[in-house]
């Protein structure tokens, strides 16, 4: 755990250093704005929906309507590799979003930002404004297995894109989530990879 020095809020961490809010985004505005966004919304606050035995967190929000494309890990790995080959200042048009909150042990896919699912719905407009300004065309969501939180957030995002008439940006779902990625790539193209954490999960 770490604390935001400005607000005193507790931030979730994935190792001895903070879980990466921003990873190698070329657009300065997007990088700085998403950092501020994460401080304000991607922490557990008093106004965040609370899990209770009677109600799951997602029941506080509308059921998503849109359907989203499921994208194979091989396609995403190619996007990451091509962008990396172009250099750190290369502009990219995709954004990987890890929506896990407390189950991120073991690492996250390279270049991902962490926007926990439980705070995502109410901030879709801010996310949209930031990715629009940065020229992002594909927002690819995932969670543990991409069977729950990842698809839900992707569909919520696509609902918002449809509502505002946005046709140049699409929300997608990473097939298999982080578990499928680790199984396919065994720690490659991952940040904060911890092999021992994956051994415990098997």
Tell which residue, 12, 138, 19, has the closest CA to residue 75.
138
Residue 129 resides in a domain: yes
Q: Does 70 have pLDDT greater than 90?
A: yes
- 10 lies in a domain? no
Number of domains in the chain: 1
The predicted pLDDT at position 193 comes to 66
In a domain, 187, yes or no: yes
> Taking 70 as the threshold, does the pLDDT of residue 8 lie above it?
no
- Position 53 in a domain: no
48, two tokens: 């965040």
> What are the tens digits of pLDDT across the range 25-56?
444 455 455 645 554 554 444 344 444 445 68
Residue 67 resides in a domain: yes
Residue pLDDT, tens place only, 129-179: 999 999 999 999 999 899 999 999 999 999 999 999 999 999 999 999 999
Tell me the pLDDT tens digit for each residue of 102-130: 766 778 899 999 899 999 999 999 999 99
H or E element, residue 139: strand 138-142
Mention every residue, 6+ apart, whose C-beta is less than 8 A from residue 186: none
Full residue range of the structural domain in which residue 113 is found: 21-42+60-201
Q: Is residue 15 part of a domain?
A: no
- Give the global pTM: 0.75
Range 8-23 average pLDDT? 35
Tell me how far apart the alpha carbons of residues 5 and 7 are, in angstroms, rounded to a whole number: 6
Q: Is the pLDDT of residue 88 over 60?
A: yes
Burial class for 55, CB neighbours closer than 10 Å (0-12, 13-18, 19+):
exposed
What's the confidence (pLDDT) of residue 14? Answer: 36
CATH of residue 29's domain is 3.40.250.10
d(CA 113, CA 22): 5
Q: Does residue 48 belong to any structural domain of this protein?
A: no
For residues 73 and 45, which has the higher predicted lDDT (pLDDT)? 73
Residue 109 resides in a domain = yes
24 has pLDDT over 70: no
């Amino acid at each position: 755990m770490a604390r935001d020095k400005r607000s005193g809020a507790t931030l979730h961490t994935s190792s001895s250093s903070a879980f990466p809010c921003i990873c190698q985004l070329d657009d300065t505005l997007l990088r700085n704005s998403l950092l501020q966004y994460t401080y304000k919304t991607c922490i557990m606050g008093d106004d965040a929906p609370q899990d209770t035995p009677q109600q799951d967190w997602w029941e506080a929000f509308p059921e998503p309507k849109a359907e989203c494309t499921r994208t194979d890990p091989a396609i995403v790995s190619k996007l990451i590799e091509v962008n990396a080959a172009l250099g750190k200042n290369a502009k990219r048009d995709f954004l990987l979003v890890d929506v896990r909150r407390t189950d991120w042990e073991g690492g996250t896919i390279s270049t991902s930002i962490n926007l926990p699912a439980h705070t995502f719905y109410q901030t879709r407009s801010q996310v949209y404004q930031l990715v629009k300004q940065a020229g992002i065309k594909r927002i690819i969501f995932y969670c543990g297995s991409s069977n729950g939180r990842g698809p839900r957030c992707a569909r919520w995002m696509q609902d918002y894109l449809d509502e505002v008439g946005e046709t140049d940006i699409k929300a997608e779902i990473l097939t298999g989530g982080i578990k499928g990625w680790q199984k396919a790539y065994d720690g490659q193209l991952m940040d904060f990879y911890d092999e021992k954490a994956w051994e415990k999960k098997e």
